[in-house]
Structure 1
Amino acid sequence: MDFDNLAQQQSDRIFRVWIQNLLRNSPEDLAGKLASRHCPGTPVTASRLSNGAFNICYRVTFENGDRVVVRFAALGRVIARNEKVEDEVAIMDYVAQHTAIPVPKVLGYGKCVVGPYIVMSFIEGNQLSGYLRDSSQETVTLSSNISMSVLRKAYFGMAEVLLELSKPEFTFIGAIRQDESGGWTVSKCPLSFNMNRLAQFSNIPHSIFERRHFSNAADYFEELAQQHFYHLEHQRNDAVTDEADCRKKYIARCLFRKLSREVSGEHCSGPFRLYCDDLCPDNVLVDASRLVVTGVVDWEFAYAAPVEFTYAAPWWLLLERPEDWELDLDQFLVRFMPRFRTFLEVLQDCEERKIKGGSLSQSQRLSIAMEKSLETGLFWICLASRHSSMFDEIYWNFIDPKFFGPFTVLEDRLRLLSTEECADIDIFIEKKIHQASEGNLVSHYSIDELVDL
Structure 2
Amino acid sequence: MDWDHLAEEYNDKLFAGWLQLLSQQSPALPSRLATQHRRGTARVADVSQFTTGAYNICCIVTFEDGFRALVRFPILGRSRFRTEKSRNEASVMKFLSRNTALPVPRILGMGRWGCGPYLVITFIEGMLLSNRLGDPTIQSPSLNPNVSDSDIQSAYRVMAQVILELSKPIFSSIGALEEGSQMWKVAQRPLTLNMNELVRVGNLPPGIFAEKTFSTAGEYFEELARQQLLHLQYQRNDAVDDEQDCRKKYIARCLFRKIAREYKKQQSGPFHLYCDDLRPSNVLVAAQDFSLTGVIDWEFTYVAPAEFTYTAPWWLLFESPEAWESDLHVFLARYTPRLRLFLNALRSCEDEMIRKGALKEYQRLSEHMAESLNSGLFWFCLAARKSYMFDDIYWQFLDKRHYGQGSLEDRLLLLSQEELDGLKMFVSLKMQQARENRLDEHISIDKLIDL
The two structures have a TM-score, normalised by structure 2, of 0.98
The whole-number CA distance in structure 1 between the counterparts of 2:168 and 2:308 is 13
Please name the residue that 2:276 is paired with: 277
The whole-number CA distance in structure 2 between the counterparts of 1:362 and 1:295 is 26
Q: State the AA in 2 paired with 1:16.
A: A
Cα deviation 1:389-447 (Å, max 9, x = unaligned): 000000000000100012x3201001000000000000000000000000011111121
Match of 2:284, SS state, is strand
**Number of residue pairs matched?**
449
Please name the residue that 1:18 is paired with: 18
Structure 1 residue 44: Cα displacement: 1.7
1:187-198 paired onto structure 2 within 5 Å: 187-198=187-198
The whole-number CA distance in structure 2 between the counterparts of 1:44 and 1:143 is 37
Cα deviation 1:183-227 (Å, max 9, x = unaligned): 111112111000000000100111000010001111100000011
Match of 2:199, SS state, is helix
Match of 2:62, SS state, is strand
Please name the residue that 1:109 is paired with: 110
1:48-127 paired onto structure 2 within 5 Å: 48=49, 50-127=51-128
Structure 1 residue 49: Cα displacement: 5.0
Match of 2:48, SS state, is strand
Please name the residue that 1:207 is paired with: 207
Cα deviation 1:156-199 (Å, max 9, x = unaligned): 000000000000000110000012x1311111211100000000
Q: State the AA in 2 paired with 1:241.
A: D
Please name the residue that 1:146 is paired with: 147
* Runs of 5+ unmatched residues, structure 2: none
Please name the residue that 1:157 is paired with: 158
The whole-number CA distance in structure 2 between the counterparts of 1:326 and 1:139 is 15
The whole-number CA distance in structure 2 between the counterparts of 1:52 and 1:298 is 10
* Runs of 5+ unmatched residues, structure 1: none
Please name the residue that 1:32 is paired with: 31
The answer on whether the counterparts of 1:102 and 1:294 sit within 8 Å (CA) in structure 2 is: yes
Superposition RMSD in Å: 1.0
The whole-number CA distance in structure 1 between the counterparts of 2:263 and 2:310 is 13
The answer on whether the counterparts of 1:272 and 1:305 sit within 8 Å (CA) in structure 2 is: yes
Percent identity for Structure 1 against Structure 2: 51
Match of 1:300, SS state, is coil
Q: State the AA in 1 paired with 2:106.
A: K
The whole-number CA distance in structure 2 between the counterparts of 1:253 and 1:222 is 11
The whole-number CA distance in structure 2 between the counterparts of 1:274 and 1:131 is 27
The answer on whether the counterparts of 1:28 and 1:58 sit within 8 Å (CA) in structure 2 is: no
Please name the residue that 1:238 is paired with: 238
Match of 1:48, SS state, is coil
Structure 1 residue 263: Cα displacement: 2.7
Please name the residue that 1:287 is paired with: 286
The two structures have a TM-score, normalised by structure 1, of 0.98
Q: State the AA in 2 paired with 1:36.
A: T
Please name the residue that 1:353 is paired with: 352
Please name the residue that 2:132 is paired with: 131
1:183 equivalent to 2:154? Answer no
Structure 1 residue 29: Cα displacement: 1.4
Please name the residue that 2:248 is paired with: 248
Please name the residue that 1:446 is paired with: 444
The whole-number CA distance in structure 1 between the counterparts of 2:134 and 2:289 is 17
Match of 1:261, SS state, is helix
Q: State the AA in 1 paired with 2:130.
A: S
Structure 1 residue 113: Cα displacement: 2.0
Cα deviation 1:47-88 (Å, max 9, x = unaligned): 035322111111011111111111111101111111111000
Please name the residue that 1:387 is paired with: 386
The answer on whether the counterparts of 1:264 and 1:308 sit within 8 Å (CA) in structure 2 is: no
